[in-house]
Amino acid sequence: MKKILKVQVDLGDKIAQAIAGGAEYYEPESFIGRQVIVLTNMEPKMITGVKSEVMLLAADLQGKPIWLTVDNDVPAGTHVR
Amino acid sequence: MKKILKVQVDLGDKIAQAIAGGAEYYEPESFIGRQVIVLTNMEPKMITGVKSEVMLLAADLQGKPIWLTVDNDVPAGTHVR
């Protein structure tokens, strides 16, 4: 049975739900307060029966996701360009 | 006269040159050894006469770029997905 991570992401104007890989490497608690980078221009999709509305971006270190972040705090919802 | 930043980015298999904004906020030295996230699937373009081959991604904090990075070191050239 594949473990997945269900993450609530604050987009500034709303909270989105994401299903993230990497459950074999990360505890759910490790996401609390973490600044993540997400793709928002996607259609929501169902992953193992759970809705995923955005996608957390990560560097792929031989299968282990190393989450993208910012090197200074920015407000939730700040756009990337 | 607009200041720009000319950055050499190690893509793992080659070095690419990028022109980055934010010269009013960042000293060139601040990029040394920094892990950045770049878009590579772009046509090289000339910016103020200098070739820019990749684009550094940043959160846009009211015009100030806050560079994307990773929260653990990864080898240069690691792909994002």
**Mean pLDDT value of segment B6-12:** 97
Q: What is the pTM of this model?
A: 0.92
Would an 8 Å CB–CB cutoff place B13 in contact with chain A?
no
pLDDT computed for residue A61 by the predictor: 96
Residues of B in contact with A79 (CB under 8 A): 59-60
Q: Considering CB atoms only, which of A59, A74, A75 is closest to B78?
A: A59
Q: Considering CB atoms only, which of A60, A70, A74 is closest to B79?
A: A60
Would an 8 Å CB–CB cutoff place A39 in contact with chain B?
no
> B59–A80: do the CB atoms touch at under 8 Å?
yes
Q: Is the ipTM of this complex over 0.85?
A: yes
Mean pLDDT of chain A: 94
pLDDT computed for residue B48 by the predictor: 85
For B70, which residue in chain A has the nearest alpha carbon?
A68
Task: Evaluate if residue A1 carries a pLDDT over 70.
Answer: no
Q: Considering CB atoms only, which of B61, B69, B78 is closest to A69?
A: B69
Task: Evaluate if residue A19 carries a pLDDT over 80.
Answer: yes
Would an 8 Å CB–CB cutoff place B50 in contact with chain A?
no
The string of pLDDT tens digits covering residues A32-74 is: 999 999 999 999 999 889 999 999 999 999 999 999 999 899 9
The string of pLDDT tens digits covering residues B31-60 is: 999 999 999 999 999 988 999 999 999 999
Per-residue 3-state assignment (H helix, E strand, C coil) for chain B: CCCCEEEEEECCCCEEEEEECCCCCCCHHHHCCCCCCEECCCCCEEECCEEECCEECEEEECCEEEEEEECCCCCCCCCEC
